[in-house]
A and B are shown apart, each in its own frame.
Chain A
Amino acid sequence: DTGVSQNPRHKITKRGQNVTFRCDPISEHNRLYWYRQTLGQGPEFLTYFQNEAQLEKSRLLSDRFSAERPKGSFSTLEIQRTEQGDSAMYLCASSPGGAEKLFFGSGTQLSVL
Chain B
Amino acid sequence: GQQLNQSPQSMFIQEGEDVSMNCTSSSIFNTWLWYKQDPGEGPVLLIALYKAGELTSNGRLTAQFGITRKDSFLNISASIPSDVGIYFCAGQNTGGGADGLTFGKGTHLIIQP
Contacts and interface: CB of A to CB of B under 8 A. Distances in A.
Q: Does chain A bind chain B?
A: yes
A56 B103 contact: no
A107 B42 contact: yes
A31 to B, nearest CB: 8
B25 interface: no
Contacts of A100: 31, 33, 48, 50, 92
B42 A45 contact: no
Interface of A is mostly: mixed
B41 A45 contact: no
Interface string B10-49: 0000000000000000000001010000001111110010
Interface residues of A, number: 25
B97 interface: yes
Contacts of A99: 92, 94, 99-101
Residue of B4, B42, B92, B103 ringed by the most chain A CB atoms within 10 A: B42
Contacts of B42: 4, 91, 93, 104-107
Residue of B45, B100, B102, B105 ringed by the most chain A CB atoms within 10 A: B100
B44 A42 contact: no
20 contacts: A4-B42, A33-B100, A42-B103, A42-B104, A43-B43, A43-B103, A45-B100, A45-B101, A48-B100, A56-B99, A56-B100, A58-B100, A99-B94, A100-B31, A100-B92, A102-B45, A104-B42, A105-B42, A106-B41, A106-B42
Interface of B: 4, 6, 31, 33, 40-45, 48, 50, 88, 90, 92, 94, 97-106
Interface of A: 4, 31, 33, 40-45, 48, 55-56, 58, 91, 93, 98-107
